[in-house]
Structure 1
Amino acid sequence: MNSMFPAVLVALIGLFLCNSAQAFRTVVIDPGHGGHDKGGQWGLVYEKHLALDTSARLEKELKKRGFRTVMTRRSDYFISLPERVRITKKYRDAIFISVHYNYTWKQGVSGLETFYTNSKSKPLAAYVQSGMMKKVRTVNRGVKFARFYVIRHNTCPAILVECGFVSNATERSRMKSAWWRQSLAEGIADGIVRFRRS
């Protein structure tokens, strides 16, 4: 009986750490849309392509910082919302970042915003939003509550990032350039690091 005690103690400590908001080493990166689901678009500028490229850059940045990464998709194909959540739930030590670009019929609207659903995800959203705003000059639309499927159904800290408006001419011009997508990827990664250290 005594010989089992250390193993039980280690298991309990591991369970506690996995359930702690900052105790993670895996980042599940979810490039929004894909395949027939183009997302927001203006001409030949598709959200699905921008999200995938930004996500790939984010993965590189996170690997450089020592994180394990999981991509819900690595090329241009459709994946359902429940499947994106199912992939994430395979990892006990994970956080979830869904990468999107925005669209509205009001072409003057611009800026970055980050969404969360619950209290354990709000600090992650705040750090990531701050990280992005330190990298680029645009409107800070802030951190907001939302009930998007992929963040509402995940049990780990989960956020959805909107990296600018495809429908805004100025931001559309920027997001077509690699420096914009790279800067945002670095900003998101910086925010994740700050969240883990908090």
Structure 2
Amino acid sequence: MKLVTKRKITNKKTTKSRKKRKKGLHRKKTSVNKKKLIVVIVCAIIVLFAVGFVGKKTVSFVSNVWPNIISLKDSLTGGKVDKSNVNSDEQFDVGDEDKDTLQKKHNVFIDVGCGGYETGYVTSNIKEKDMNLKIAKKVAKKLAKEDDINVILSRQEDVYLSSDERKALAENEKAEVFVSIHMAGEKSGDASGVETIYQKDSENGSYDLAVIMQTSISAYVKAKDRGTSAYDMSVLRDNSIPAVYIQCGFLSNSSELKNLNNSKYQDELAEGIAQGILTYIDAKK
């Protein structure tokens, strides 16, 4: 005996129309979802580009500014000592001078700016303290070739010295002139040139020394002549001898940084400084 299963009778016309409606709705929803997906993707790409651009600028800004912030903090708080070593190639050594200094008539004090945890301005992995030492030693080498000049450097290594220690060392060595070597830096990156600074209201011959130094340096290097300026600076203040503070250039300026990092330019700069010192000493004779 067979069981007959009743089949549900459906209206074919109705079923077809339903299928059509379903298919239509499906296509419509898919179209809308694709549009939303495209919008989301485009927005995501824009956001990623924006974040990448801002991130790149931020990283660049932080990488340049952060070391200077740390340097300032360490200077104020006596932070940890920077133990990195400066390249000592072609640098002045005490042994370069004649051992017999009794015939030396003029003591010249070259003060090497910054040192130790006081790194100074930092950019592109170049520290001001290292550049100061490199230039100062080149100046010392040139001066040491003169028979009547005895050169004293405030430091020949990466060590920290206070302004008072620098001035006291120059006085103890009975120096005739005090020349402090520095670099400069500022935010815009546009500033450039060489400037010689002397102590405001000084009456010890510092102004005359500054004028001669600036004139001499400008004659030897192709850089903007920023002239001389009078400021109140701790390393110059109450200095008993003619003293100047030379800003040899701006490390924040990419073009000038390239020059300052060039050996030939460094030699020209050192020659200008050395000749300025010799001119001042000769003028006093």
User: What is the TM-score with the length of structure 2 in the denominator?
Assistant: 0.60
Distance 1:93 1:165 in 2: 28
In proportion to residue count, which structure has more helix? 2
Partner of 2:272: 187
Please report how far the alpha carbon of residue 141 of structure 1 lies from its aligned counterpart in structure 2 after TM superposition: 0.4
- Structure 1 unmatched runs, 5+: 1-23
**How much has 1:146 moved relative to structure 2?**
1.2
Give the 3-state SS of the residue equivalent to 1:151 in structure 2.
coil
Q: Distance in 1 between matches of 2:261 and 2:177?
A: 28
Letter in 1 for 2:234: Y
CA contact (8 A) 1:88 1:154 kept: no
What's the secondary structure of 1:134's corresponding residue? helix
Tell me the residue number matched to 2:113: 32
Q: What is aligned with 1:127?
A: 212
Query: Could you tell me how far apart the structure 2 residues matched to 1:136 and 1:109 are?
Result: 16
Which stretch has the larger CA shift, 54-63 or 144-153? 144-153
% identity of equivalent residues: 30
1:63 and 2:63 are equivalent in the alignment: no
Change (3 A) 1:183 1:74: same
Matched, 1:156 2:241: yes
Letter in 1 for 2:159: Y
Gaps of 5+ in 2: 1-104
Q: Which residues of 2 match residues 48-59 of structure 1 at below 5 A?
A: 48-59=129-140
2:121–2:184: 8 Å Cα contact kept in structure 1? yes
Judging changes above 3 Å, is the alpha-carbon distance between structure 1 residues 106 and 70 closer, same or farther for their aligned structure 2 residues? same
Inter-CA distance 59–105: structure 2 relative to 1 (3 Å threshold): same
Which one has a larger percent strand, Structure 1 or Structure 2?
1
CA distance in 1, matches of 2:174, 2:129: 28
1:92 is displaced (CA, Å) by 2.9
- The answer to whether 1:89 aligns with 2:171 is yes
Q: Measure, in 2, the Cα distance between the counterparts of 1:78 and 1:170.
A: 29
Which protein has the larger Cα radius of gyration, Structure 1 or Structure 2?
Answer: 2
1:76 and 2:158 are equivalent in the alignment: yes
Pick aligned residue for 1:45 from 126, 140, 143: 126
Q: Does 1:99 align with 2:184?
A: no
> How many residues get paired?
175
Q: 1:71 to 1:93 in 2, by over 3 A?
A: closer
The answer to whether the 8 Å contact 2:109/2:175 transfers is: no
The AA in structure 2 aligned to 1:154 is N
Q: TM-score, structure 1 length as denominator? A: 0.85
1:182 and 1:147 map into 2 onto residues whose CA distance is: 30
- 1:19 paired residue number: none
Question: For the aligned residues, what is the CA RMSD?
Answer: 1.2
Letter in 1 for 2:150: R
C-alpha contact (below 8 Å) 2:198/2:245 kept by paired residues: yes
The 5 A counterparts of 1:6-21 are none
Cα offset, 1:93, TM superposition: 4.4
Indicate the SS of the match to 1:164: strand
Q: How far apart are the structure 2 equivalents of 1:164 and 1:100?
A: 8
Q: Which amino acid aligns with 2:139?
A: L
* Aligned mate of 1:136, from 209, 221, 228: 221
Misfit runs of 4+, over 4 Å: none
> 1:133 aligns to what SS in structure 2?
helix
